[in-house]
Amino acid sequence: MTMALRSLIVWLGILVLASLNGALRDLVVAPRVGDTPARALSTVVLCGLILLVTWGSVRWIGPRSRSGAIAVGLLWLACTLGFEFLAGHYLFRKPWGELLADYDLRRGRIWIAVLPVTLAAPGWMAHARGLERTWSK
């Protein structure tokens, strides 16, 4: 199995967790604290989940260099943005304006923080797990 395929499998797991996190936000947290604080909390939780899943899976994914870890992060970022906008608009029928609203920092929407975490997580967790020591320089 290739690194790209393993990366996609892990990303699908992250997608499931992100979906569950969003459902929990909408059904439980938002009615109690309001939409904007719930979205902020959900963003922080999702960033933590991404890091946790990456911590647990980066050895299995198997990047063999810093550029390999960056490639995994870029793949995850592309999949995340593709899902967010393409599935969000064409599958879930959300208007473009509603999708873009999650990127409006002036409204307290910090979902954009998920993107750099998604991109950097494979490299960060490879470093944290000591995989860099096995990479050729």
Assess contact for 17 and 54: CB atoms under 8 A: no
Q: Where are the domains of the chain?
A: 3-134
Per-residue pLDDT of 105-130, as tens digits, reads: 998 899 999 999 999 999 999 999 99
Distance CA 111, CA 105 (A): 9
pLDDT per residue as tens digits for the range 43-94: 999 999 999 999 999 999 999 999 999 999 999 999 999 999 999 999 889 9
Residue 3 has what pLDDT?
95
Q: Give CA–CA dist 29/85, Å, rounded.
A: 24
Number of H helices, E strands in the chain: 6, 0
pLDDT at residue 137 tops 70? no
